[in-house]
Structure 1
Amino acid sequence: MTGYQAGIQKFGEMETQVIGVSTDNLPSIKYWTDNVIKTEFPIASDFMRKTATAYGVLMPERGIANRATFVVDKEGKIAYIEEGSSAVDTSGAANACSRLKKH
């Protein structure tokens, strides 16, 4: 999520909203966002893993979600997905957001 925090201004200029979701509990997320990366965007807790399961990114053997980026358009449809270690690179999401803004 550090890449998204670093690029938060760029995403704002594209009229997009960054929202993080973590399988950590709320106290862990609060500590992380207040002290480690100091995010300016909200991070929701998916401690029960319902969102990770619904989006198909839960790794049940580890009990955590795979890193993933989803770009959702104004109609609520998923327009872009990036999974795995490459999901921390914001360029794919930024390109998808830029394309959506043009339409």
Structure 2
Amino acid sequence: MRLRPSSKTLQYSLTSLLFEGIENIIISLPDSLRVYVEEQLQLGSYKNASEYFMLLVQQDQQPQTKQPLETKLIQGIESSPSEPMTAQNWDEIRQAVRERSVKRS
């Protein structure tokens, strides 16, 4: 992590492993946020500022990636009346899983 002083802010130059083709991202933080990030690093929760910001970005992405799945699940539930699962249904599912696991081995 390199710090570059700027007017009333410090800029973190972060090497990004998260995005291909991007080597550095410059983030300007006011002193209050810089102090907070440094406190988090001192607590040992993160290895460096780059890791801290990458995890923030990943947390921000999660709801966006979950939304399409949740939408499809709701559409499936609402698409037609459901029927209770039978013992035969569960046996067929177990058999399909066994067959897939054998193919992967």
Shorter-chain TM-score bucket reads under 0.3
TM-score by length of 2: 0.25
Which structure is richer in relative contact order (CA contacts within 8 A, separation 6 or more)? 1
Higher relative helix content: 2
Rg larger in 1 or in 2? 2
TM-score by length of 1: 0.25
